[in-house]
Each structure stands twice: as structure tokens, then as C-alpha cells.
Amino acid sequence: MPGLHQKTFNTIAKRVYSQNERLAEEAFGQAASIVRQEHVLYYHLQAEEDAILNISVSFDGSWLTRGHKSLIGIGCVIDVLTGLIIDGHVLSLHCHVCAQTGASIKRETPHRYEQWRQDHIEKGECTINFECSSGMMEVRAAEVLWGRSVQRHNLRYTTMVNDGDSKAFKKLLEVQHYGPDVVILKEDCINQVGKRLGTALRNLVADCSKKVITLGGRGHGRFTAETIRKLQIYYTRAIRSGISAEEMKCGILAGLYHG
């Protein structure tokens, strides 16, 4: 069966995209309203409806395909108190119209391509909104989301909880969307901290294995994958319990020597 004509497909895709964008804006607006109400109740704030609130959020980025070579990426801001997604931003290195219609015009009538390309961008039909490498998508998403938080929701994201990647945080400190008097703090996710511990220990075992060094002997107490998993669990539990750094160090060493 014949498929849709390219112009028909582009028209339908544009209509669907615009509706999705409108629904997303409504959903984010409702989520931000709930977040404001919950913060006022939880922290007993005497804030007016149009007052700007400082909140803690979790931020992370993702890609359409695995790895840092994806053509499409997204960054999301999630309120720590309620767990609601407040805002999100999609970044794209690809435009389907440019890849199909634009390529056809460039191939058949090259002299018309530049004018078509300019009109395509001016009409707001091109979905390409990012020109750097895919690995920088998360940084750009953070810059956009922090930059519009006050205008959209009257909220300031003054504490960022993330997976340990400092590129986005350094960019926010450099841009200073909230001015020099508002300090943005960075907190690492406890689960990610435990994950990094496990990764470091597994890398240590692999490096020692290449050097023909056995960790923990060959019998009971050897440094196996199960021992590393337990250490990750004990480590994250120790952080959550709020014990001191010295007590945590002693506990980890005890688990290492007697696990």
C-alpha cells in the first residue's frame, strides 16, 4: 500500500507535536502548583501566591539511544519533596523535514536550498535546537531549565541533587541565572555514591587481576562480586543513618577485612 506523502506526514507530525507541547506545558504547570502548595504546608511558609520559593530538585539527562552519540536528548527537573516532574527540555540535533525534504531540494535544485532552509527556520518548523556534541546536551538542558524556572513557575532551584556529573553544576555557577546573591548547592544522590563505590572496587579487582594479584585470598573472605555488592549496601546505609565519617570508615574497613 502507498504510504503518506511527505508533505502530509509533515503536516500531521507538526499538529501532533504542537498538541503534545501544549499538554506538556499544562502538566508542568499543574505539577508546579502542587509543589508550591506542598512546600508551603511542609515548611510552614508564610508566602504569597506570587512569591518566589527556593526548592531542592533532582536533575538528570537522558538520550534517545544509549551512549553520548544520540541525536535527541532530554533534561528533567524533579522536585525532591513531592517527586513530581516540574519541567523538562528536549534537545535535538536532527530535523526530519531537513533530512527528507531539505535533502531532496538540495539534490534536485541546489540553488533553492539556502532560501528554503532560511524560510524553514524562520517559520519555526525546524526541530534542530542544539549544535554541540551529544555529551553536552545535559549541560544545555540544565542551563535552559534553570533559566526559565522563575518566569514559568516562580521557583528557584537552589539545590541540585544529581548523579555526580559536575559539568551541568559548573555551568549553572558560571551563568548565575538567579544573580550573585543566590547560591546554588550541589548534593550527590546516595544511590549514585554507592554505585560509584562499587564501580571503583570492581575496577580495583580488575586491575589487580591483570597484575596477578589476588585480593582476599582464595577461600573465605575473598573479594568477590558478592562482597562488593554487600559493601555498597552497607555504605549507602551508613550514609543514610548519618554516622560520622570516622565511624563510616571503620565500618567499611571492618566489612572489607571480615566480609
Beta bridge partners of 58: 78, 161
Alpha-carbon span 152 to 144, nearest angstrom = 12
**pLDDT at residue 253, rounded to an integer:** 63
**Stretch 126-147: mean pLDDT:** 91
Alpha-carbon span 191 to 168, nearest angstrom = 19
SS in 3 state form for 88-127?
EEEEECCCHHHHHHHHHHHHHCHHHHHHHHHHHHHCCCCC
Q: Per-residue pLDDT for 73 more than 60?
A: yes
End-to-end CA distance of the chain: 65
Fold of 6-93+128-188: Nucleotidyltransferase; domain 5 (3.30.420)
CB count in 10 Å sphere of residue 167: 12
**Residues 181-230 pLDDT 10s:** 999 999 887 887 888 888 888 888 888 878 877 766 555 556 788 888 88
CB count in 10 Å sphere of residue 221: 14
Max mean pLDDT range (78-87, 103-112, 159-168): 78-87
Q: Per-residue pLDDT for 1 more than 70?
A: no
**pLDDT at residue 90, rounded to an integer:** 93
**Residues 20-64 pLDDT 10s:** 989 999 999 999 999 999 998 988 887 777 789 999 999 988 888
Alpha-carbon span 259 to 252, nearest angstrom = 10
The domain spans of the chain are 6-93+128-188, 191-258
As given in the structure block, the three cell numbers for residue 160 are 541540585
**Residues 146-182 pLDDT 10s:** 999 999 999 999 999 987 767 899 999 999 999 999 9
Q: Are strands 185-188 and 85-92 parallel, antiparallel or unpaired?
A: unpaired
Q: Which strands sit side by side in the sheet containing 185-188, from one edge to the other? A: 85-92, 72-79, 53-63, 155-162, 185-188
pTM above 0.85? no
Alpha-carbon span 182 to 204, nearest angstrom = 40
CB count in 10 Å sphere of residue 7: 10
